[in-house]
């Protein structure tokens, strides 16, 4: 009897233990517990400024691990290091990826525009999912290659234009699909950028490199030049070698609503004009091709199969479009950062930056229909841009090909970024000049690139001014080719 009781006890104990081990980990850990197997290990390339907010978005209040941090400037990394002391620290992303490739699942890229491509491509080549700040890269060729690489490497991708996950742009899609404003053939997009110096001469003189900065790594694939505080840590946006100007900063936010709502693709033509504020003398036009202009206006045309072409005009530097008749004189157009107007045959749609505060303008009945229209497009959960990160993070957990569609994966944000960067191609073509053979009164140069440029999107080529094609891609400094 005694042996039978002992055997019965052991049997029941074993069953009890077996039941204990199959209880879900999150139940054992209590409310809010996240099993280690559910956590992503994330590396960050670029830790200051936008890098910090990208890191915190990826960290997701502790749902994931920040495993490695990389920045060429110890000062920019300080806040992240204090928050995540256990993370491995690096200055060279190439070394970080080599050493941590078996320890990380995904990478955020929040560097200046000129190093997006080399950083993201290196991460994707190792099969790492990537979250890359806007615009995806420095030029059209790099964006195209990143878009292709995401498919080839089967990685989950997202561009950092968080408004694309907002409710506003989805409401605009519902309004347009319901035909509330009719057919759209004209779009206006504007921003108050630049809020940094542009349209100026390059700085001169030699300045000592701060001891915390690895200047060679900051330059990356760009041509060598001496350190200047006008380049790092913020004003790089206004310089052609490093940034992508007002377009690169804001157009991926501002152009996203019309691009998405109207289902646009590659533009077929582009033309620009710029504010020539830098006269260096009477009838002496300033020439500062190393810097983006203080203000510009870009005209893009998008062909659409079975529908009328869409003509989109971009304004920056304080320029704005004419107010549509449907919008009263005392109504503010857009918001502080800029705005978007879609001009339809039945009415007008307007929104601010990130697709915020979408409104309908026209008849009272139009507004009433807009308010009553039911929600038909699933919303992204999360506020203040958090949902944009969480959407990407969940897709990383689900795996490539198994996840839900993302708001700004490279298959969408790639072509959209190319359209954005077409504006900069036109600006650089605008500055292209050659000495005038037969000098006329006060005219020393021919500016042959100041024309409408015709674009073959599939082949990535300007077809009517070959000199402009040098701006489709760039030469890399020795040692930086992938």
pLDDT tens string 93-142: 999 999 999 999 999 999 999 999 999 999 999 999 999 999 999 999 99
pLDDT of 262 > 60? The answer is yes
Question: Given pLDDT bands bounded at 50, 70 and 90, which one contains residue 36?
Answer: low
Neighbours of 91 (CB within 10 A): 17
Integer-rounded Cα Rg, in Å, for the chain is 26
pLDDT of 175 > 80? The answer is yes
pLDDT of 413 > 60? The answer is yes
Give the single-character DSSP code of 439.
E
Q: What is the pLDDT of residue 409?
A: 98
What's the rounded Cα separation, in Å, for the pair 26 and 435?
72
Between CA 140 and CA 146, with CA 142 as vertex, the angle to 5 degrees is: 115
Phi, psi of 303 (to 5 degrees): -75, 145
Q: What is the pLDDT of residue 155?
A: 98
Q: Is pTM beyond 0.75 here? A: yes
Query: What whole-number percentage of the chain has pLDDT above 90?
Result: 86
**Greater confidence, 385 or 105?**
105
Q: What is the pLDDT of residue 55?
A: 98
Q: What is the pLDDT of residue 31?
A: 40
Q: What is the pLDDT of residues 418-453, one digit of tens each?
A: 999 999 999 999 999 999 888 777 788 999 999 999
Letter string b/e over residues 255-294, b meaning 16 or more CB atoms within 10 A of that residue's CB? bbbbbbbbebebbebbbbbbeeebeeeeeeeeebeebbbb
pLDDT of 34 > 90? The answer is no
pLDDT of 183 > 70? The answer is yes
What's the rounded Cα separation, in Å, for the pair 110 and 134?
9
**3-class DSSP state of 421:** helix
Q: What is the pLDDT of residue 166?
A: 96
Q: What is the pLDDT of residue 136?
A: 98
Rounded to the nearest integer, the mean pLDDT of the chain is 92
Q: What is the pLDDT of residues 201-218, one digit of tens each?
A: 999 999 999 999 999 999
Q: What is the pLDDT of residue 193?
A: 97
pLDDT of 33 > 60? The answer is no
Q: What is the pLDDT of residue 29?
A: 40
- Read off the pLDDT of each residue in 466-474 and give the average, rounded to a whole number: 98
Give the single-character DSSP code of 92.
-
What's the rounded Cα separation, in Å, for the pair 408 and 133?
11
**3-class DSSP state of 214:** coil
- Read off the pLDDT of each residue in 207-234 and give the average, rounded to a whole number: 97
Paired with 270 in beta bridges are: 300, 453
Phi, psi of 366 (to 5 degrees): -65, -45
- Read off the pLDDT of each residue in 38-66 and give the average, rounded to a whole number: 97
**3-class DSSP state of 460:** coil
pLDDT of 179 > 80? The answer is yes
Q: What is the pLDDT of residue 30?
A: 43
Contact 409, 157 (CB under 8 A): yes
- Read off the pLDDT of each residue in 51-66 and give the average, rounded to a whole number: 98
Q: What is the pLDDT of residue 383?
A: 65
Q: What is the pLDDT of residue 24?
A: 36
- Read off the pLDDT of each residue in 40-54 and give the average, rounded to a whole number: 97
pLDDT of 468 > 70? The answer is yes
What's the rounded Cα separation, in Å, for the pair 264 and 195?
29
Q: Which of 186-190, 298-302, 405-409, 442-446 is least confident?
A: 442-446
Three-class secondary structure assignment of 370-395:
HHHCCCCCCCCCCCCCHHHHHHHHHH
Q: What is the pLDDT of residue 14?
A: 41
Smallest CA-to-CA distance from 47 within 102, 100, 88 is with 88
Q: What is the pLDDT of residue 481?
A: 84
- Read off the pLDDT of each residue in 298-326 and give the average, rounded to a whole number: 97
Neighbours of 196 (CB within 10 A): 17
Contact 210, 76 (CB under 8 A): no
317-323: long-range contacts, CB 8 A cutoff, minimum separation 24: 317/193, 317/194, 317/198, 317/246, 317/275, 317/293, 318/192, 319/190, 319/275, 319/295, 320/190, 321/188, 321/190
Question: Given pLDDT bands bounded at 50, 70 and 90, which one contains residue 8?
Answer: low
**Greater confidence, 111 or 10?**
111
Between CA 61 and CA 410, with CA 396 as vertex, the angle to 5 degrees is: 110
What's the rounded Cα separation, in Å, for the pair 221 and 139?
13
Neighbours of 316 (CB within 10 A): 31
Question: Given pLDDT bands bounded at 50, 70 and 90, which one contains residue 35?
Answer: low
- Read off the pLDDT of each residue in 329-346 and give the average, rounded to a whole number: 97
Q: Which of 191-195, 281-285, 434-438, 465-469 is least confident?
A: 281-285
């Amino acid at each position: 009897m005694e042996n039978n009781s002992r055997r019965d006890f052991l049997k029941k104990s074993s069953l009890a233990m077996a039941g204990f081990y199959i209880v879900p980990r999150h139940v054992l850990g209590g409310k809010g517990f996240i099993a280690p197997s559910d956590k992503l290990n994330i590396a960050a390339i670029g830790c200051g400024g936008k890098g910090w907010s990208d890191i915190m978005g990826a960290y997701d209040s502790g749902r994931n691990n920040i495993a490695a941090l990389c920045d060429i400037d110890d000062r920019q990394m300080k806040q992240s290091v204090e928050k995540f002391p256990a993370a491995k620290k690096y200055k060279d992303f190439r070394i970080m990826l080599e050493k941590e490739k078996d320890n990380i699942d995904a990478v955020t890229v929040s560097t200046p525009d000129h190093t997006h491509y080399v950083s993201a491509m290196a991460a994707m080549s190792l099969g790492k999912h990537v979250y890359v700040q806007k615009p995806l890269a420095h030029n059209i060729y790099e964006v195209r290659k990143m878009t292709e690489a995401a498919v080839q490497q089967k990685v989950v991708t997202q561009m950092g234009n968080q408004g694309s996950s907002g409710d506003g742009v989805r409401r605009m899609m519902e309004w347009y699909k319901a035909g509330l404003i009719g057919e759209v053939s004209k779009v206006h997009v504007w921003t108050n950028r630049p809020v940094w110096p542009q349209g100026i001469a390059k700085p001169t003189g030699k300045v000592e490199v701060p001891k915390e900065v690895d200047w060679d790594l900051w330059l990356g694939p760009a041509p060598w030049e001496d350190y200047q505080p006008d380049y790092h840590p913020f004003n790089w946006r206004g310089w052609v070698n490093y940034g992508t100007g007002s377009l690169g900063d804001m157009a991926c936010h501002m152009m996203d609503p019309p691009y998405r709502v109207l289902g646009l693709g590659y533009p077929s033509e582009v033309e620009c004009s710029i504010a020539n504020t830098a006269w260096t003398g009477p009838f002496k036009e300033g020439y500062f091709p190393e810097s983006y202009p203080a203000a510009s206006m870009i005209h893009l045309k998008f062909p659409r199969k079975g529908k009328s072409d869409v003509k989109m005009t971009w304004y920056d530097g304080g320029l704005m479009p004419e107010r549509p008749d449907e919008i009263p004189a005392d109504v503010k157009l857009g918001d502080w950062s800029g705005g978007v107007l879609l001009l339809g045959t039945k009415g007008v749609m307007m929104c601010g930056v990130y697709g915020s505060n979408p409104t309908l303008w026209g008849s009272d009945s139009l507004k009433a229909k807009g308010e009553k229209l039911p929600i038909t497009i699933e919303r992204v959960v999360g506020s203040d841009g958090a949902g944009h990160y969480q959407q990407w993070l969940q897709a990383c957990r689900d795996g490539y090909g198994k996840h839900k569609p993302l708001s700004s994966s490279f298959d969408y944000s790639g072509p959209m970024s190319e359209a954005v960067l077409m504006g900069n191609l036109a600006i650089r073509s605008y500055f292209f000049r050659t000495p005038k053979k037969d000098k006329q009164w006060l005219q020393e140069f021919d500016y042959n690139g100041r024309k409408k440029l015709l674009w073959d999107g599939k082949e990535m080529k300007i077809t009517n001014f070959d000199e402009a094609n040098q701006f489709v891609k760039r030469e890399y400094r020795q040692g930086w080719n992938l």
